Amino acid sequence: MADLNSIYCPKCRCHTNLIYRAGYERSITGGKYLYHAVEECNNCQQHFLTIRLNGQYGKKILKSYPESLPKTVNSLISDSVKKDFEEALLCQSVGAYRGAAVLARRAVQLTCLDKGAKKGEKLHKQIEELFDNNIITQDIKDWADEVRYIGNDAAHPNKEEVNKEDSEDILELLESLCDVLYVAPARAAKRKQKRKGAAE
Ligand SMILES: [Zn+2]
C-alpha cells in the first residue's frame, strides 16, 4: 500500500484517506503498544474503528472495522451482475465469507441469464447451455463451475465450511469471468469504434 492511511471505502466505494478523530493506546508485550482509534473517510464521513501498531496515525493498519473493500468492480459489467459482485465484496470485507460465496454464485447465475441461458434451470445446466452454444469456452465454464461449487457449499448447511481463502478464490474467478464476458468485449468494441472513426 503506497499510503498507510488510504482505504477503498466500503460505503462510498472510492479510494479515500482516513482522518484520525479520537483514540487511545494499549500496551502489549515487548514494549510495544497498539493504538485503537476512530477514523473517518475523507469523502463520505463513514467512521472506522482501527488498530495500528506503535503509533496513532500513518502507521500500518492491523485491523479496521469495517474493512477496506478488497477491489473495485469494473463499470463495464452489466448492472445486475455488478450489484451482486459489489455486495459479495462487501461481505468479504466484513468477514462474511459464506455470504460472499453465495452472492458470487448468484452473480454467475445472473451472468448466465444475461448471456441468454434458459430461466428456471439449475445453474449447472445454464452454464452447460452457454458452453454448448459457444458463448463461453471450456476455461470459462470451469471457472463458473468452481464458483458454483463453493457457492453451493456456502448455501447448504450440510456442506463444507467456506473460509476466507475459498471466498477470495471465487471472487478472483468471478472477476476473471466478468473480464472475459463483459470488460474485454466492451473495450474491443470501443477500440473498433475509434478505429472506424479515424478511417472515415
Ligand atoms: Zn467513504
The tens digit of pLDDT for each residue in 134-143 reads: 989 999 999 8
Q: Are residues 98 and 192 in the same domain?
A: yes
- Per-residue pLDDT tens digits for 82-133: 999 999 998 998 889 999 999 999 999 999 999 999 999 999 999 999 999 9
Nearest to 147 by CA among 85, 68, 72: 85
The verdict on 153 and 181 lying in the same domain is yes
Question: Quick one: 122 and 61 in the same domain?
Answer: no
179-200: average pLDDT: 89
Report how many domains make up the chain: 2
User: In whole angstroms, what is the distance from residue 156 CA to residue 53 CA?
Assistant: 39
User: Residue 31's pLDDT is what?
Assistant: 78
- Considering 65, 89, 108, which residue would you say is the last residue of a domain? 65
CA of 44 to the centre of ligand 1 (A): 4
Cα 17 to ligand 1 centre (Å): 9
Specify whether 101 is located in the same domain as 137: yes
61 is a domain residue: yes
Confidence of residue 2 (pLDDT cuts 50, 70, 90): very low
pLDDT of residue 3: 59
- For residue 46, report the distance from its CA to the centre of ligand 1, in Å: 5
For 6-46, the pLDDT digits (tens) are 888 988 988 899 999 999 998 888 778 889 999 999 999 99
Residue 72 within a domain: no
- For position 1, what pLDDT does the model report? 41
Please give the distance, rounded to the nearest whole angstrom, from the Cα atom of residue 60 to the centre of ligand 1.
19
Distance 153 CA to ligand 1 centre (A): 33
| CATH number of residue 140's parent domain | 1.20.120.330
Looking at the fold, whether 116 and 182 belong to one and the same domain comes out as yes
Residues 80 and 146: beta-carbon distance below 8 Å: no
Same domain, 51 and 83: no
Distance, CA 43 to ligand 1 centroid (Å)? 5
State the distance from the centre of ligand 1 to the C-alpha of 64, rounded, in angstroms.
14
Question: Using H for helix, E for strand and C for coil, what is the string for 32-81?
Answer: CEEEEEEEEECCCCCEEEEEEECCCCCCCEEEEECCCCCCCCCCCCCHHH
**What is the radius of gyration, based on Cα positions, of the chain?**
21
Q: How far is the CA of 39 from the centre of ligand 1 (A)?
A: 11
Residues 85 and 130 in one domain: yes
Residue at 55 is within a domain = yes
- Domain extent, residue 33, equals 6-65
Domain presence at residue 71: no
Q: How far is the centre of ligand 1, averaged over its atoms, from the C-alpha of 86 (Å)? A: 15
Residues 95 and 16 in one domain: no
Compute, in angstroms, the gap from residue 56 CA to the centroid of ligand 1.
20
Give distance in angstroms: CA of 15 to centre of ligand 1.
8
Q: Are 91 and 47 in a shared domain?
A: no
Q: How far is the CA of 163 from the centre of ligand 1 (A)?
A: 27
**Cell numbers of 32, please?**
510495544
Tell how far the Cα of 8 is from the centroid of ligand 1, in angstroms.
8
Q: pLDDT band for 154, please (50, 70, 90 cuts).
A: confident
Q: Which residue has the higher pLDDT, 176 or 31?
A: 176
- Ligand 1 centre to CA of 11 (Å) is 5
Please tell me whether residues 89 and 42 are part of one structural domain: no
